[in-house]
Amino acid sequence: MARTISVELAGFTGLFRDLEEYVVSLDRVLSRIGAGEDPRILLEYVVEYGLPSRLAQAREFVGDSLERVIGAEALEEIAEQVEAYRDKK
């Protein structure tokens, strides 16, 4: 059996709610941009719906749960390996 981790149910449910919202919203926003709307509506969505801080909160929740099992060092290592967006110029 695959290794599992015990996660607080309320926080995990909140995570599902957020992801459901992001998926449905992005689909709508990208459809509208595809239909000719100003790409700026994506920025408006991201800012109005508070995605930066909500995603940061979700990362804290998942990271804290994970840290209790794998330890701070292993968590740090995973975070360091992530390849985030970079300026290509």
For the chain, the distance separating the N- and C-terminal CA atoms, rounded to the nearest angstrom, is 46
Q: What own/partner pairs with CB < 8 Å and gap ≥ 24 does 21-27 have?
A: 21/49, 22/51, 25/49
Q: Binding of a second copy at residue 72 (CB under 8 A)?
A: no
Q: Where are the alpha helices (H) located in 35-71, listed in sequence order? A: 40-48, 51-70
Q: Binding of a second copy at residue 85 (CB under 8 A)?
A: yes
**Binding test (CB under 8 A) with a second copy, winner from 35, 36, 73, 87:** 87
**Binding test (CB under 8 A) with a second copy, winner from 50, 72, 77, 86:** 86
Q: Binding of a second copy at residue 20 (CB under 8 A)?
A: yes
Residue in 1, 3, 2, 6 with CA at minimum distance from that of residue 68? 6
Binding positions for a second copy, rule: CB under 8 A: 2-10, 12-13, 15-17, 19-30, 32-33, 39-40, 42-43, 45-47, 49, 51-52, 55-56, 58-59, 62-63, 65-66, 69-70, 75, 78-79, 81-87
